[in-house]
Amino acid sequence: MISTIKKIGLASGLILAFTLSAQAATAISLEELLQQVKTGRVNDAVEAKARLDQFRANRAQQSRLLNAEKAEQKRQEQASARMEKQFEVNDARIIDLEKAFQTRLGGLKELFGVLQQASGDARGQFETSITQVQFPDRTDFLLNFAKKMGQSNRLASLEEIERLWFELQREMTETGKVTTFTASVVNSTGEEHQQEVTRIGAFNVVSEGKYLEYVPETERLVELQRQPASRYTGRIDDLTEGTSGLFPLGVDPTRGQLLGLLVQSPSLMERIAQGKTVGYVIIALGIVGVLIAIWRVLILSAVGAKVSRQVKNISQPNVNNPLGRVLKIAQESTTADIETIELKLGEAILRETPKFNAMLPLLKIISVVAPLLGLLGTVTGMIVTFQAITLYGAGDPKLMAGGISTALVTTVLGLVVAIPTVFLHTLVSSRARRLTQILQEEAAGMLAERAEGNQSAA
């Protein structure tokens, strides 16, 4: 108590000092300041005495409160001791009851373990089955049923056990049915709609002429980004619109795994894009080669038709075709000897031959350069692959897939362009040789006739 009074006095002195400091700023003279100090000390003494009297008056009340709290603490300790004894008694009784429960449970314990395992396995299978879209509430039941079978203080009812059997039997039955119902479907643009879908057992789901994929994480049907070939999707409407009978339809026996891989497999344009710059150059050369071959075939065919008509009318040469121009030169050289006519005809044939062989060297170059460009793409692709192996190792094949794809695709493109170009070059060159051969044959025949005529005249 004395220490408390000292603390109160110290606090009062500090307050007085601050008060005097504040008043000193406004004091006029030393006399006034002295008077203010005397007044403050008197006031502080009065206040300290009042606080001390109040504390002495409340001391008896604080003692009564302390005694009451100690009595309450003792009472609570006694209650805690009684509860601990009761807990020990109850714990022993629970152990006895648990033993009696296990004894009476007997063989049913193994049965409940089997039921728990069967419900857990069924739940795992149902969650990935496309029948879950049609019966979404069964997984919650199986989850609660498995929890109940795992507890020792709760037993499953006969109705719950029968429902487990019913769910298993229904799953087996539904796998052999083709059923149409309404479900939520997410299309290729990400929009979700309610529409009629047709489930083919536990294998596939189709709707509006397209195959759907079941996503267990969201429990939604999602339209495949890339559909199978038209020979499969073209028969979906026959199944959805039919009511009975047999309908041929492609079914994924892996329950959607093959269709899922279909989305990941690249299309033709995506494979071509894997060839990158070298692949596009090869394709451009192939297009140029095909256009040149078609152009030359059309021109040589037209020239061949004119030459064929000219062969039938040798006596009247026409200058609109190579044979006619050669025959015209022979007719105009009536006074020349055989050697001179032969030289003129040879010159005329040589002048016509380059027209037949126009663009053939370029076509041959394309057929040779295309596989070389494919080899170039192969080398660059392997360089990219080895760089990926150097940086990241060979643990992840996906890191090397880009370079390998470039290497293989460019090789394929080079062969695809080179092989047809070789055939087209052979076709065009054979037509050109055929026309040249006709000109040579007709020129030789004309020379032979001229020689026979000269001998008869001699």
Q: What is the pLDDT of residue 22?
A: 47
User: How far is the C-alpha of 399 from the C-alpha of 401, rounded, in Å?
Assistant: 6
Q: What is the residue-wise DSSP string for 321-338?
A: SHHHHHHHHHHH-SSS-H
Domain membership of residue 24 (yes or no) is yes
> Is there a single domain that holds both residue 207 and residue 231?
yes
pLDDT given at position 27 = 45
The reply to whether 334 and 393 lie within a common domain is yes
Question: pLDDT digit string (tens) for 103-123?
Answer: 766 566 677 778 888 888 888
| Residue 95 placed within a domain | no
Say if residue 138 is in the same domain as residue 199. Answer: no
Residue 94, in any domain of the structure: no
Domain region containing 110: 106-175
Q: Using one digit for the tens of pLDDT, what is the confidence trace for 373-403?
A: 988 888 888 887 777 777 777 666 666 666 6
Buried b / exposed e along 310-331 (16+ C-beta atoms within 10 A): beeeeeebeeebbbbbbbebbe
201 and 296, same structural domain? Answer: no
Residues 404 and 346: their CA atoms lie apart, in Å, by: 56
| Same domain flag for 76 and 160 | no
- Whether 148 and 214 map to the same domain: the answer is no
Positions of the chain with pLDDT lower than 70, given as ranges = 1-29, 32-34, 36-38, 40-42, 101-102, 104-109, 151-155, 263, 334-336, 394-403, 453-458
Residue type for position 430: S
Q: Is the dihedral of CA 305, 307, 311, 312 positive or negative?
A: positive
Tokens of residue 426, six digits: 């052979």
Residue 62 lies in a domain: yes
**192 plus 69 within the same structural domain:** no
Distance (Å, whole) CA 48 – CA 40? 12
Q: Residue 371: name the closest of 407, 415, 412 by CA.
A: 415
pTM score over 0.75: no
- DSSP secondary structure of 5-69: HHHHHHHHHHHHHHHHHHHHTT--SHHHHHHHHHHHHHHHHHHHHHHHHHHHHHHHHHHHHHHHH
Decide if 381 is inside a domain.
yes
401 inside domain: yes
In a domain, 203, yes or no: yes
